[in-house]
Every structure is written in structure tokens, then in C-alpha cells.
Amino acid sequence: MKKAGRPIIPRKTIYRLSIYLRCLARLRENAINTVSSEALAQAAGVKPTQLRKDLAYFGAFGTRGLGYEVNALSKRISDELGTSSLQPVILVGVGNLGLALLSYRGFEKEGFEIVAAFDAAPKRKRDKQIHLPIWGMEKLKNFVHEKNVKMAILSVPAAAAQTVANELMAAGIMGILNFSPIVLAVPEDVMVNNVNLAIELENLSYFIQG
Amino acid sequence: MKKAGRPIIPRKTIYRLSIYLRCLARLRENAINTVSSEALAQAAGVKPTQLRKDLAYFGAFGTRGLGYEVNALSKRISDELGTSSLQPVILVGVGNLGLALLSYRGFEKEGFEIVAAFDAAPKRKRDKQIHLPIWGMEKLKNFVHEKNVKMAILSVPAAAAQTVANELMAAGIMGILNFSPIVLAVPEDVMVNNVNLAIELENLSYFIQG
DNA sequence: AAATGTGAAGTTGTTCACAGCT
DNA sequence: AGCTGTGAACAACTTCACATTT
């Protein structure tokens, strides 16, 4: 959770750095070399001062009067986030949602690859062909060790989630992207990000009722 | 964005109310009638005081010395969130991710139904059978008006996202669950929730590198 | 002139400490 | 005794204002 030897950067800032990185990628595609905090902030949906504060956590490299060099800033943020190298990820729980996520091949472009899928019933019939084999849970531990996988996508039913999460952690997984609708109990050094589409919709529906 | 005649409840609280509701549902399944703020907070992954503060935004109904009645509290939160009635939702952009979301039929259990799907190329060949017909974008406006749809899931490529979002808003959509990796520009009265799986993974990967 | 970098002020959200019910 | 409800203290985050640099 903390990065030794560097200033502690707030969670929210890290999240926004990812957003800035994607905005910068689009600028690059359009062959734009230089950008002001004003313009970049606008693209990212934040205030210019916030952008500058965020960048200030890991040093200054803008040019006053001019702005930031797009390539240099991209590189710097990318280094900071550690996204320069492709991270292997496993997916556990190939039910409806897990299958959906597997068939969505949009992770690779962004530096992540789902390298294996696991399920309690690997042979179960599924209504869609996928290119990746599905392994039984007994194969998980060895695989994670051998391939040195650190991250997992968890898409099992609520009732199984905590048990499976425990297996993942025992195998050495340190980061879990949790799609199951329960709050996982994990030790401090394991990181969980929750994604719950139903809650997102519920949240929207609240705010649009006037 | 604001609810007339009621105290303004912070976004984060609303989000947590959804979590509490799901924890309460599990308690109900286990035929537990009463719960303390301590126990419920633990299940929801928050501190007891925070839970009580959250509930205090819309009035007190716990029993001191005892705790909360599970059914009554569920009902109260559900009313507050307005999730008692089923909300129709449309999905726009039936590419890889959109198709994946359509085939994930997990929304219905949670009070939402995807009632129609739209795509710029509705006849395009897709590698999976789905039960819902896919309409062309020209059908969108009428449908939204007729069925009085207020929420949309947006899963089109980045390049098209803002244009399509504009169409949605022109048709009367007030809440967008945005899966496309750009920040949408919308007027104040339209609500956008962003879900970006790549960013979630990137975020995880940052925090697990020691 | 234009735009960054940053201490200080302001705002929002969280936790504490404890009074007040049951 | 046990647990809620809440003002006050605290912490985190955001924005402002402006000095500084090119």
C-alpha cells in the first residue's frame, strides 16, 4: 500500500494520474506536443490547480509560460504508475459475468492480459466459445506461483467470494478486482478494488430523480 | 442532483447506503431480525460511527441498547434510494464490452432491466446470440420518449462517446453509466458514473508494487 | 504575457467522545 | 449495561491566491 522511498501519493491522485495518462494518449494520437494544465485538466474533468497539485507529488517538470511536453509527461506518469510493463492477471469465476469479462478483450490494449481462467466447475457448459482454457481451482496455487501472478479478477457468486478470496491470497495474489457484491475481509497488504455495476446504476437512479 | 425538500445527502453516503442494503439483504436471508451498527458496519467494511452518521442523514430509527430492525432499516434505505421500483435502462454500443454486458443477466435481480440495445451498426455480425434485438441509432430517440427511459449504459468506442452521449441527452436520458474511457462533458443536471476496468487494474497494480 | 508550483485557506468527509434512550 | 445519535475535533482533499520562472 505504501511505496518505499517516495512521497506517499493519495489514492485519489493515483486514480486521476491514470485518467491524465489516457488524455495524454489522445493528445499524442493527434500529434499535439505541448499542453497546458488548463487544457489537460479540462479534458480530464478536473480543475487546473488540482492537476498541478497532483503532478507536484512527484516533482515539477512543466515549463512556465508554456505548459507540459506531452511525451515527457506521459512517460513520467507511466513510470510513476509502473504501467510500462504488461501485468499478468487471472480471472476466477467463469459464470455469466466472468464469461462476459473474458470475452471482452479490451484489457490487452491497456497493458493487462488475462493469462488464465479458473472455476469451481471448469467443465460446465457455457454458451459462448472462448479462446482461453478454464482450469479447476486445484490448479490455481501452482499456476500463480509459477507465473508469479499478483492480480486477480474475482467474479464468483457472493456466497463463495470470501472463501475464494482466501484461496487467492494463500496462493500469493496481492491485488483483487472484486466484482462480487460483498465486502471482502483482507489483510492490510492486500488491495481490493470493488466494481459493482448494480450499485453504480442504483446510484445514478438516485441522483436523477428530481 | 439535489433532492428537493430533503437534506442533501453526500454522494459517498448514498453509495454506502447501497452497500448497507446488500448486507441487510444477506442478514434477511439468514433470518436475522436485529443488527447493531457494529455488526452491520463490519459487514459493510466501514466504522460503526460512519454507519450511524450515514443513517442520521434521513432520521433515526434504531433502538438504543438493541440496534436496528433489519426489515425496517432495509425498507427505509430502499425508500430513500428509490429502488423500490424497477428502472428501465438502455444499452448503447454493442461491441465487445456491450455484448459482454448484455449477456451478463445479473442486473435484473437488482432492480434494473436492460430493455433495449442500440448500435451504429445493428446488423453487424456478433459472435454470441443474445435474446434482445439490437436497434439502429435512429430508433433511439422515439424509444426513449415512448418508454420514458431515463438511464443508459454507454459502451461505445472512445471516439464516438461524446457524440453518442449528446444524442442520449437530446433524447431525454438523465443518467449515464459510462464505460468508454473518456470524460464526458455534460450539463449539470445530467449524472455520469464512470466505470473503467483498465484504470481499476492499473490502480491495483500501483498499490501492490512494494 | 503566460503558465507553473505552492503555502494558506476553505471545504468536505471521518472519527471521537460522550450524552441520552431503552 | 448496551447501543444509538450527535456536536466537536480531526483528517483529507480541493481550491485560491500569488510568487516565480520562461
Strands (E), B28-119: 34-35, 68-69, 87-92, 112-119
Is the separation of the CB atoms in A52 and B192 below 8 Å? no
User: What was the pLDDT predicted at A2?
Assistant: 39
Which run of H or E residues covers position A162? helix A158-171
Assess whether pLDDT exceeds 70 at residue A6.
no
- Nucleotide D2 C1' to residue A17 CA (A): 46
Q: Are residues B151 and A208, on separate chains, in Cβ contact within 8 Å?
A: yes
- CA A51/CA A72 separation, integer angstroms: 16
User: What was the pLDDT predicted at A197?
Assistant: 92
Q: Are residues B195 and A195, on separate chains, in Cβ contact within 8 Å?
A: yes
Assess whether pLDDT exceeds 70 at residue A210.
no
- Chain B positions touching A107 (Cβ under 8 A) are 197-198, 201
Query: Which of B99, B193, B204 has the CB atom closest to A203's CB atom?
Result: B193
Q: Are residues B204 and A151, on separate chains, in Cβ contact within 8 Å?
A: yes
More confident residue, A184 or B105: A184
CA A116 vs. chain centroid, Å, equals 17
Q: Are residues A207 and B191, on separate chains, in Cβ contact within 8 Å?
A: yes
- CA A72/CA A85 separation, integer angstroms: 17
Task: Give the predicted TM-score (pTM) of the model.
Answer: 0.93
Query: Which of B4, B97, B203 has the CB atom closest to A14's CB atom?
Result: B203
Write the pLDDT tens digit of every residue in B90-144: 999 999 889 888 988 778 888 899 999 999 999 987 777 788 999 999 999 999 9
Interface test with B, best of A20, A201, A209 (most B CBs within 10 A): A201
Domain ranges, ordered by start, for chain A? 11-80, 87-200
CA B63 vs. chain centroid, Å, equals 31
CA A43 vs. chain centroid, Å, equals 20
- CA B67/CA B86 separation, integer angstroms: 30
pLDDT band at A28 (very low <50, low <70, confident <90, very high): very high
Write the pLDDT tens digit of every residue in B57-89: 998 889 999 999 999 999 999 999 988 677 899
Specify the 3-state DSSP secondary structure of B68: strand
CATH of domain A87-200: 3.40.50.720
Q: Are residues A43 and B176, on separate chains, in Cβ contact within 8 Å?
A: no
More confident residue, A28 or B6: A28
- CA B163/CA B185 separation, integer angstroms: 10
Q: How many CB pairs under 8 A join A and B?
A: 188
Smallest CA–C1' distance to D3, residue: B65
User: What was the pLDDT predicted at B6?
Assistant: 59
Q: Which residue has the cell 470524460?
A: B183
Assess whether pLDDT exceeds 70 at residue A207.
yes
**Dihedral angle computed from the Cα positions of residues B69, B72, B76 and B78, in that order, rounded to the nearest 10 degrees:** 100
Name, in order, each residue with C-beta under 8 angstroms of A45's C-beta and a sequence gap of 6 or more.
A19, B183
Q: Output the CA angle A138-A196-B202, nearest 5 degrees.
A: 75
- Nucleotide D16 C1' to residue B8 CA (A): 25
- CA A19/CA A22 separation, integer angstroms: 5
A11-80 has which fold? Arc Repressor Mutant, subunit A (1.10.10)
Q: Which residue has the cell 436471508?
A: B29
Q: Are residues B197 and A177, on separate chains, in Cβ contact within 8 Å?
A: yes
Q: Is B10 left (phi over 0), alpha (psi -120 to 50) or beta?
A: beta
Identify the burial level of B79 via C-beta atoms within 10 angstroms of its C-beta, where 0-12 means exposed, 13-18 middle and 19 or more buried.
exposed
Residue B184 DSSP symbol:
P
Write the pLDDT tens digit of every residue in B12-57: 999 999 999 999 999 999 999 999 999 999 999 999 999 999 999 9
Q: Are residues B201 and A45, on separate chains, in Cβ contact within 8 Å?
A: no
- CA A206/CA B175 separation, integer angstroms: 10
Q: Which residues 35-94 of chain B have a CB within 8 Å of chain A? A: 43-45, 81-83, 87, 89
Query: Which of A3, A97, A209 has the CB atom closest to B82's CB atom?
Result: A209
Sign of CA dihedral A185, A191, A194, A195: negative
User: What was the pLDDT predicted at B210?
Assistant: 57
Write the pLDDT tens digit of every residue in A127-161: 777 889 999 999 999 999 999 999 999 999 999 99
Residues near chain C (nucleic strand), Cβ < 7 A?
A 36-38, 48-49, 52-53, 55-56, 60-68; B 10-13, 46-47, 49-50, 53, 63-66
Q: Which residues 96-135 of chain B have a CB within 8 Å of chain A? A: 96-97, 99-101, 103-107, 109-112, 127-129
